Amino acid sequence: MAPVGIVGLGSHVPPRTMTNRDWSELVETSDEWITTKTGIKERRIAEPGTCTSDLAAEASRQAIDEAGLKPSDIDLLILATSSPDVPLSSTAGITQHKLGCDNAAAFDINAVCAGWVHALDVGSRFAGTPGYENVLVVGSEVYSRILNWEDRSTCVLFGDGAGAAVLAESVDGSGILGSWMMSDGSGSGVIEIPAGGVRTPIPSSGFSEGDQYFQMDGRAVWDFAVEAFPQAVRGVLERIGRDLSEVDLIVPHQANLRIVEAGMENLGLPMEKTFTNLQRYGNTAGASVPIALREAVDSGALEKGDLVITAAFGGGLAWGANAFVW
Active site residues: 113, 253, 283
Phi/psi for 320 (5° steps) reads: 180, 175
* CA–CA distances in Å: residue 88 to residues 33, 57, 82, 145: 38, 18, 12, 17
Burial group, residue 220, by CB count within 10 angstroms (0-12, 13-18, 19+): middle
Report the distance separating Cα 1 and Cα 7, nearest Å.
Answer: 17
| Dihedral sign (CA 116, 299, 306, 236) | negative
CA dihedral 179, 184, 190, 194 (to 10 degrees): 100
**16 C-beta neighbours (distance < 10 Å), count:** 14
Short-list 80, 84, 61, 81, CA closest to 71 = 61
**268 C-beta neighbours (distance < 10 Å), count:** 9
* CA–CA distances in Å: residue 183 to residues 55, 61, 221, 251, 321: 28, 32, 14, 20, 12
**61 C-beta neighbours (distance < 10 Å), count:** 17
3-state SS class at 171: coil
DSSP states along 229-254: HHHHHHHHHHHHT--GGG--EEEE--
Burial group, residue 203, by CB count within 10 angstroms (0-12, 13-18, 19+): exposed
Question: Residue 8: beta bridge partners?
Answer: 166
Cis peptide bond upstream of 53, omega within 30? no
